[in-house]
Amino acid sequence: MALVQTKAIVLSAIKYSDTSLIVRCFTLKEGVKSYLLKGVLSARKSKLKPAYFQPLNQLYIEANHNTKGALNSIREVHIAHPFQSIHAQIFKQTIVLFLAEMLGKTIREEEENEPLFDYLESSIIWLDTHDEVSNFHLFFLFNLTRYLGFFPDLSENHREGFHLLDGVFTDEILDKEVLTGESLKQFKKLFHVTTENYHTVSFHKTERQQVLQLLIRYFELQLDGFQKPKSLAVLETVFS
């Protein structure tokens, strides 16, 4: 067992027994880790507060990390970035729940990945500090593929179609996994968006839902065992 001090981003918190939680975090130093927080739901038994472990909260933790695969434990926790608006706005709460579930399904490594951690940290802070966020989840997921290893090859983007399975542009457009026409036009809007030009790119409601479904399909094809997040339906309802 090793004592570790690290930044951590909460991916999920599941109730375990009447008084405890199992919390899954993406840590800066050691990737994905799961923690058993005994008695955290009982105010008399724990100095840790359940509110610390809301989805995508950014924390500083001092934790005992086991070397034999058992659940880990947290000794101390502090909020690294107090959110200004996420917990107060239903749109942002819904986006956060959806993205936390997506990250829980896609980030599997138990090793340090500082570029990915930095991307998550800065993106969540951007979401918290900006008002126009209706398309944020689209750009977030698209750019997340850079860090997961399947960012599309954009070098032949003049071709007629984009193959979701191969992640490349193609002129062979009869395959069912090839995007063409209006679908491709909307998908290509994601290609060069940054936080600086975010406000210049827009989607109508139906376009937003279409592009989100295309992104989900892209993840399904790229990641073995990936399943659509349950919160997808809630997200689509809130933004309908």
Q: How confident is the model over 204-219, as pLDDT tens digits?
A: 999 999 999 999 999 9
Q: Is 68 a residue whose pLDDT tops 80?
A: no
At 70 the pLDDT is 77
CATH fold of the domain at 86-238: de novo design (two linked rop proteins) (1.20.1440)
For the chain, domain boundaries: 2-79, 86-238
**pLDDT bracket for residue 109 (50, 70, 90):** confident
Please state the rounded mean pLDDT for residues 34-41. Answer: 92
Amino acid at 63: A
Q: Is 69 a residue whose pLDDT tops 90?
A: no
At 45 the pLDDT is 62
At 66 the pLDDT is 87
**pLDDT bracket for residue 197 (50, 70, 90):** confident
Please state the rounded mean pLDDT for residues 76-83. Answer: 96
At 238 the pLDDT is 82
Domain 2-79 in CATH 3.40.50.300? The answer is no
Q: What is the SS3 assignment for 49-82?
A: CHHHHCCCCEEEEEEEECCCCCCEEEEEEEECCC
At 47 the pLDDT is 79
Helix (H) or strand (E) holding 24: strand 20-27
**Per-residue DSSP letters for 140-196?**
HHHHHHHHHT-----TTTTSSEEETTTTEEES---STTEE-HHHHHHHHTTTT--TT
pLDDT digits (tens, 9 = 90+) for 4-19: 999 999 999 999 988 8
Helix (H) or strand (E) holding 206: helix 205-222
At 161 the pLDDT is 97
Q: Is 240 a residue whose pLDDT tops 70?
A: no
102 alpha carbon, distance to own chain's centre: 5
Please state the rounded mean pLDDT for residues 150-168. Answer: 95
Q: What is the pTM of this model?
A: 0.93
Identical fold, 2-79 and 86-238: no
